[in-house]
């Protein structure tokens, strides 16, 4: 059932006509404790963040939709509100320090609480080590991929301490563990996110706040330019589970880690990658 849900959501993301209400209703809620809780998911106007937000909203959470493209933000917010989800939206550019603070303040001003922070937004650009613009692009990725999640986590922890409960989930990458070709500085920033997850988990464990990370592998999301289907099929053949993962499968992992079922899990990086990081080499090409 989950694969059917995920495929339908991918079709929505890629522009094909699928009723998002049908997808929403097909998701089976599992965590009643989420009802009326507030989730801030950065980068949730599209892609993995949108899949996470859709799953959490089906569990009864109130959602803060964040992005940097106003049209995408408006479209996603309208879709969620049409489903009866209590939603607000914020356009914030994480390369601007003031925008990070504004996003958090807007969340608290509207909802007055925060139960779950999902640090999903990231600058995904990868480039060759000797790129002449490497230093300039490094500054952007340090701001967006490390500084913003760090500041948001610190602000969230300040609020969560008062109630001695709350969850922070960082979206990392398999690149934080094993490098992509031409993976700098993206992989470096995701390795830092993994380290931040562990360090913060130790600092906040006795405050009742759990922090974990999810490292997606090859996930089927909308791409610009659109992905070549044949190329995607060839890539999928290299994976132990020979298909791309989906945004709703990442959403399912987030929901579990935020739930009471995961109450004894903190400081972990969970790989949702179809076995990618497990193998030494792709199928058929032994080392």
Q: What is the pLDDT of residue 11?
A: 45
CATH class for the domain made up of 31-278: alpha beta
Q: What is the pLDDT of residue 284?
A: 85
What is the secondary structure of the chain as a DSSP string?
Answer: -HHHHHHHHHHHHTT----HHHHHHHS----GGGTT-EEEETTTTSHHHHHHHHHHHHTT-EEEEEES-HHHHHHHHHHHHHTT--EEEEE--TTSHHHHHHHHHHHHHHHS--SEEEE---------TT-TTHHHHHHHHIIIIIIHHHHHHHHHHHHHHHHT-EEEEEE--GGGTSPPTT-TTHHHHHHHHHHHHHHHHHHHGGGTEEEEEEEE-SEE---SSPPPHHHHHHHHTTSSS-S-EEHHHHHHHHHHHHSGGGTT--S-EEEESTTGGG-SS-TT---
Q: What is the pLDDT of residue 13?
A: 47
Domain boundaries, the chain: 31-278
Q: What is the pLDDT of residue 12?
A: 43
Q: What is the pLDDT of residue 107?
A: 98
CA-based angle 137:142:147, to the nearest 5?
A: 150
Task: Verify whether residue 10 is a known catalytic residue.
Answer: no
Choose the catalytic residue: 31, 186, 264, 271. 186
Q: What is the pLDDT of residue 225?
A: 61
Q: What is the pLDDT of residue 76?
A: 97
Q: What is the pLDDT of residue 126?
A: 75
pTM for this entry: 0.93
Residues of the chain below pLDDT 50:
1-15
CA distance readout (Å), 49 to 190, 203, 231: 16, 26, 24
């Amino acid at each position: 059932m989950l694969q059917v849900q995920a495929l339908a959501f991918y079709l929505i993301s890629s522009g094909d006509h699928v009723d998002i209400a049908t997808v929403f209703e097909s998701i089976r809620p599992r965590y009643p404790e989420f009802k009326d809780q507030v989730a801030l998911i950065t980068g949730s106007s599209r892609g993995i963040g949108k899949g996470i937000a859709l799953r959490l909203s089906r569990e009864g959470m109130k959602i803060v939709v964040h992005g940097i493209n106003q049209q995408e933000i408006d479209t996603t917010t309208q879709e969620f509100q049409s489903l009866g989800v209590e939603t607000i939206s914020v356009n914030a550019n994480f390369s601007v320090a003031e925008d990070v603070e504004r996003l958090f303040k807007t969340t608290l001003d509207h909802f007055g609480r925060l139960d779950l922070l999902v640090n999903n937004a990231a600058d995904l650009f990868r480039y060759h080590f000797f790129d002449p613009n490497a230093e300039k692009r490094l500054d952007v990725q340090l701001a967006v991929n490390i500084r913003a999640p760090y500041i948001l986590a610190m602000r969230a922890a300040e609020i969560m301490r008062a109630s001695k409960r709350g969850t922070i989930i960082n979206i990392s990458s398999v690149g934080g563990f094993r490098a992509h070709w031409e993976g700098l500085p993206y992989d470096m920033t995701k390795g830092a996110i993994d380290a931040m997850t562990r360090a913060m988990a130790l600092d906040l464990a006795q405050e009742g706040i759990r922090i974990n990370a999810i490292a997606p592998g090859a996930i089927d999301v909308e791409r610009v330019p659109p992905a070549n289907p044949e190329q995607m099929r060839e890539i999928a053949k290299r994976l132990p589970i020979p298909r791309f993962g989906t945004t709703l499968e990442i959403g399912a992992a987030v929901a579990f880690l935020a739930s009471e079922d995961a109450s004894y899990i903190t400081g972990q990086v969970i790989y949702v990658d179809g076995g990618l990081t497990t193998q030494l080499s792709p199928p058929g090409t032994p080392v």
